[in-house]
């Protein structure tokens, strides 16, 4: 188990983001859904890089569960956007939690998990090796793109991928 006790560079937003993430985890738990953490928060948990920013939370769940979560979000008056790239974005002010389709985003990915604990909450998180492979594939995908946005996203992914590769397994 990895216990998250430090703060990234953007501490104020990060604290609010984790509070919002707890709210979404509570919804998921009440519906019997177990998200798997896989984005920058997972990278931060492994690297503990205090110079990093964590601007959103990325997780994956079965896409068939999106409708259950949407129903609860609507009941609670929580904003969301269902995206064509197999992602349900949950929004609150400047905060964003993304629930990606595990079938789509983890296709052929060796999925091993670790447990992350923060503020008394526990969530499944991709293991270090699975997260490395997840980022390697994301970089490979962005490298095929030709837009300026693809180039920027590639560079951001590469920084995180390199940070994960600098850790001892």
Tens-place pLDDT, residues 104-158:
999 999 899 999 999 889 999 999 999 999 999 988 888 787 788 878 888 888 8
Please report the domains of the chain, with CATH numbers, ordered by start residue: 2-127 (3.30.460.40)
Tens-place pLDDT, residues 83-111:
998 999 999 999 999 999 999 999 999 89
The pTM (predicted TM-score) of the whole model is 0.92
Q: If residue 157 lies in a helix (H) or strand (E), which one and from where to where?
A: helix 148-165
Q: What per-residue confidence (pLDDT) applies to 169?
A: 57
- What torsion do the CA atoms of 108, 150, 35, 102 make, to the nearest 10 degrees? -30
Which among 136, 142, 141 has a CA at the least distance from the CA of 161?
A: 136
Position 9 pLDDT exceeds 80: yes
Question: How many residues are listed for the chain in this entry?
Answer: 169
Tens-place pLDDT, residues 144-161:
877 888 788 888 888 898
Positions of E strands within 55-163: 57-61, 79-83, 87-92, 95-101, 113-118, 121-126
Order the strands of the 95-101 sheet from edge to edge.
2-3, 113-118, 121-126, 36-37, 57-61, 95-101, 87-92, 79-83
């Amino acid at each position: 188990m990895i216990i998250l006790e430090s703060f990234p560079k953007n501490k104020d937003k990060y604290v609010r983001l984790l509070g919002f993430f707890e709210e979404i985890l509570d919804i998921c738990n009440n519906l019997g859904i177990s998200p798997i953490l896989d984005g920058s928060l997972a990278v931060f948990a492994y690297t503990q890089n205090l110079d990093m920013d964590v601007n959103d939370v990325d997780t994956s769940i079965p896409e068939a569960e999106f409708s259950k979560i949407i129903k609860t979000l609507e009941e609670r008056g929580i904003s969301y956007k269902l995206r064509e790239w197999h992602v349900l974005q949950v929004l609150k002010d400047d905060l964003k939690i993304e629930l990606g389709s595990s079938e789509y985003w983890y296709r052929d990915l060796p999925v091993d998990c670790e447990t992350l604990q923060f503020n008394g909450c526990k969530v499944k998180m991709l293991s270090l090796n699975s997260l490395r492979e997840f980022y390697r594939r994301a970089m490979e995908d962005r490298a095929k793109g030709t837009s300026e946005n693809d180039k920027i996203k590639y560079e951001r992914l590469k920084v995180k991928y390199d940070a994960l590769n600098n850790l001892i397994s």
